[in-house]
Structure 1
Amino acid sequence: MADFHMILQKSLIWMEGLAAIISLFYYNRSKKDRYWNVFSIYLIIMFISEAIGKWGYLFMDYNKPYFFNYFVIPLEFLFFYWLYAAKSLGRPKLFYILSLLYLLSFIPSEIFFTTKKIILSFNYTFGCLILMVLVIMEYYKQINSAEILNFSRNKMFYINLGVTLFYIGTLPFWTFFTLIKNYRELHDIYFSYFLISGIIMYLLFSISFIWGKQSSS
């Protein structure tokens, strides 16, 4: 299983890189919705961050748990809160409220939970629950949209599906990680899902730029 996980981990990183490269080809093509350029920049930053997490120790001395807990993961959540609430749903105030709630969740996380783990279970769980609310709101918007029959041209359809599979699908894994890790077989199965769903998510992000480009042109 370890070799299989190594293959998946490498595939995930390169799929992130592929998504970033594909997004660059469509960078600045939309004259109407420029915020998709921000999505491209986000994908580039994520790929660089994951590359640092994988190979950074070869070039510099840094604290990996702090790097992910206080930069990478917060950036992921705050970006998606912005993309969903402020842009797709058109409710910027909701973005500010949810972002503030998420940032406030660091307080109990710092007080009651250890910061030595790569992912802070409480903080990550709270962030995912907020994201889950936005995902449901986005699904509701898409289902009730007049463009439901043209969902293949909707970037957010692919993004929402990817976020559902990865962030929402792996929520129990990170929430109950301290318990799941004691059951090796269950851990390996769920960790495999975590990696595979990540690969699928970035594949869907890539597709959103290719097949969904007409929705924002």
Structure 2
Amino acid sequence: MTDFQKILQESLIWAEGLAAIISLIYYNRGNKERYWKYFSFYLIIMFLSELMGKWGHLLIEYDKPKFFNYFVIPLEFLFFYWLYAAKSLGRPKLFYALSLLYLLSFLPSEFFFTSKKIIFSFNYTFGCLILMVLVIMEYYKQINSSEILNFSRNKMFYINLGVTLFYIGTLPFWTFFSLLNEYKELWNMYFSYFLISGIIMYLLFSISFIWGKRSS
């Protein structure tokens, strides 16, 4: 890892922390009973998980690959499936169906792929493909909405843009991780993009709470 990437990695963690703090400040302004509070809880859990991944080994012994593969990453995907399908698109049955498909994708990982990787390429790729479908559906909804001219006040606009840059933009990186690892220059470029897009995503999440509609 280069010095620049180390700086980006540290910045990503604190960008997550910033998003969590801002969400706590803004989520209850005018919509205490709304589902956005769960987005705030999600951001807090993600920040604490990243702290655990970074410094947890100094406090306790734990299996880092299992922690991320069986808790952090599934929580990320399942939360976004819920936010997109059940809440933004108003299709809870779609949320249940996609969540089941995603969870079933762990079976091939368990039987045919190594369990010692920080990220399971197969079910991460599958999870991202499902998320990409929801992202496209959300873009379609926004484009065809009567509120298109007020997109800057739409929380989901910022969230969708952040998810696009990070999860969809880095999909080839994790899908072809082993192959890209043989081309160090290309790997370093994509890894830097992964870190930069992650920082931008969490900044967009922060903006979604500050500028987004509070009546959502």
Question: Match of 1:109?
Answer: 109
Q: Which amino acid aligns with 1:10?
A: E
Instruction: Find out whether 1:80 has 2:92 as its counterpart.
Output: no
Point out where structure 2 has 5 or more consecutive residues left out of the alignment. Answer: none
Percent of pairs identical after alignment?
83
Question: Does the 8 Å CA contact 1:105/1:123 hold for their aligned counterparts?
Answer: yes
1:34 aligned counterpart, secondary structure: coil
Per-residue CA deviation, residues 35-88 of structure 1 (Å, 9 max, x unaligned), is 100000000000000000000011000000000000000000000000000000
How far apart are the structure 1 equivalents of 2:215 and 2:110? 42
Question: Match of 2:149?
Answer: 149
Question: Match of 1:27?
Answer: 27
Question: Does the 8 Å CA contact 1:153/1:215 hold for their aligned counterparts?
Answer: no
How far apart are the structure 2 equivalents of 1:134 and 1:67? 26
Shift of 1:139: 0.1
**What's the TM-score, normalizing by structure 1?**
0.97
Question: Does the 8 Å CA contact 1:154/1:215 hold for their aligned counterparts?
Answer: no
RMSD (Å) for aligned C-alpha atoms: 1.1
Question: Does the 8 Å CA contact 2:30/2:215 hold for their aligned counterparts?
Answer: no
Question: Does the 8 Å CA contact 2:31/2:214 hold for their aligned counterparts?
Answer: no
**What's the TM-score, normalizing by structure 2?**
0.98
After TM superposition, list the pairs within 5 Å mapping 1:131-146 onto structure 2.
131-146=131-146
Question: Does the 8 Å CA contact 1:173/1:180 hold for their aligned counterparts?
Answer: yes
Per-residue CA deviation, residues 151-183 of structure 1 (Å, 9 max, x unaligned), is 000000000000000000000000000100111
After TM superposition, list the pairs within 5 Å mapping 1:124-135 onto structure 2.
124-135=124-135
Q: Which amino acid aligns with 1:170?
A: T
Shift of 1:28: 2.3
How far apart are the structure 2 equivalents of 1:62 and 1:29? 38
Question: Does the 8 Å CA contact 1:159/1:204 hold for their aligned counterparts?
Answer: yes
Shift of 1:128: 0.1
Question: Match of 1:3?
Answer: 3
2:86 aligned counterpart, secondary structure: helix
Shift of 1:26: 1.3
Shift of 1:213: 3.5
How far apart are the structure 1 equivalents of 2:89 and 2:190? 32
Question: Does the 8 Å CA contact 1:155/1:215 hold for their aligned counterparts?
Answer: no
How far apart are the structure 1 equivalents of 2:168 and 2:98? 17
Question: Does the 8 Å CA contact 2:27/2:209 hold for their aligned counterparts?
Answer: no
How far apart are the structure 2 equivalents of 1:157 and 1:27? 16
1:53 aligned counterpart, secondary structure: helix
How far apart are the structure 2 equivalents of 1:209 and 1:31? 12
